[in-house]
Amino acid sequence: MLLAADVGNTNVVFALFEADGEGGYVCPPRARWRIATDPRRTGDEYAVWLLQLLTIEGVSRDNITQIVYASVVPRADHNLTVLAQKYFGITPLKAGEGKAAWQFEIDVDQPSSLGADRALNILAAHQKYGGDIIAIDFGTATKFEAIDFNGTYKGGSIAPGINLSLDALVGKTAKLPRIAIRSPESTSVIGRNTEDQMLIGVFWGYVAMMEGIVARMKKEIGRPTKVVATGGLAILFDEATDIFDIVDADLTIEGLAILAQQASE
């Protein structure tokens, strides 16, 4: 089995993949678990939590034969390596380095600045769906990636995540209340009270931003293009817009499984 970990700014997602008997791994993952990102969390703390979850899943640590992780939080890297080596006896692969280096062309001005999470979305979107693709990842930030039919990364854009936008709105004003992000009950953009007006402004404003960026990206690409969405809020926004062709909640973590297979070839 493969143990994969995606370290984001907000959460670390662990996933367990079973081998497919042909050198790769079965997707979607057998299990996935989420824990808040904390760079101070030690390898021992990860182990106490993770080994209990493996036991609940009926999996022995001896079943884990490969570990791969991606990280946009450098301070967390050492502790994940300790977890892998001390508790599983495995030296982990780090996405983007060594045997797990990216095997697709990165056609931008600063290729080394591409975050591992974004690279995994690019890799997985091309491998799974082919053709020209716009991949959108709803995380702490919302990332838009342009991938051509050869799998080459052509560039993209980064916008504040909707929760960041809401935090800024509430944090910089004295009287506006904190609200939860949800789909408004009505499609009207004329709210009758302060909370509804905030929700309309944040939610429908974000939908308009997405639709506008996707339309402009498609115009620049100039060929039929699929839009693949991932991240926690993708399903929520899918109910409010028709710009997504595919919603794939496991895109990033499955990118790690694809990368692990490539590293073993």
Tens digit of pLDDT at every position of the chain (265 positions): 999 999 998 899 999 999 998 889 999 999 999 999 999 999 999 999 999 999 999 999 999 999 999 999 999 999 999 999 999 999 999 999 999 999 999 999 999 999 999 999 999 999 999 999 999 999 889 999 999 999 999 999 999 999 899 999 888 898 888 898 898 988 999 999 999 999 999 999 999 999 999 999 999 999 999 999 999 899 999 999 999 999 999 999 999 999 999 998 8
Helix, strand, coil proportions of the chain in percent (round to 5)?
40, 25, 35
SS3 category, 120? helix
pLDDT at 175: 85
Query: The whole model's pTM is what?
Result: 0.92
pLDDT at 93: 97
**How crowded is residue 248: how many other Cβ atoms within 10 Å of its Cβ?**
20
pLDDT at 264: 87
Is 117 a catalytic site residue?
Answer: yes
pLDDT at 3: 98
- How far, CA to CA in Å, does 174 sit from each of 4, 86, 193? 43, 49, 17
Which residues neighbour 38 within 8 Å (Cβ) at sequence distance 6 or greater?
none
**Burial category of 185 from C-beta neighbours within 10 Å (exposed 0-12, middle 13-18, buried 19 and up):** exposed
pLDDT at 265: 80
Q: Rounded to a whole number, what is the distance in angstroms from the first to the last CA of the chain?
A: 16
**Burial category of 32 from C-beta neighbours within 10 Å (exposed 0-12, middle 13-18, buried 19 and up):** middle
- How far, CA to CA in Å, does 258 sit from each of 40, 101, 194? 29, 12, 47
pLDDT at 129: 97
- List 6, 117, 132, 248, catalytic entry: 117
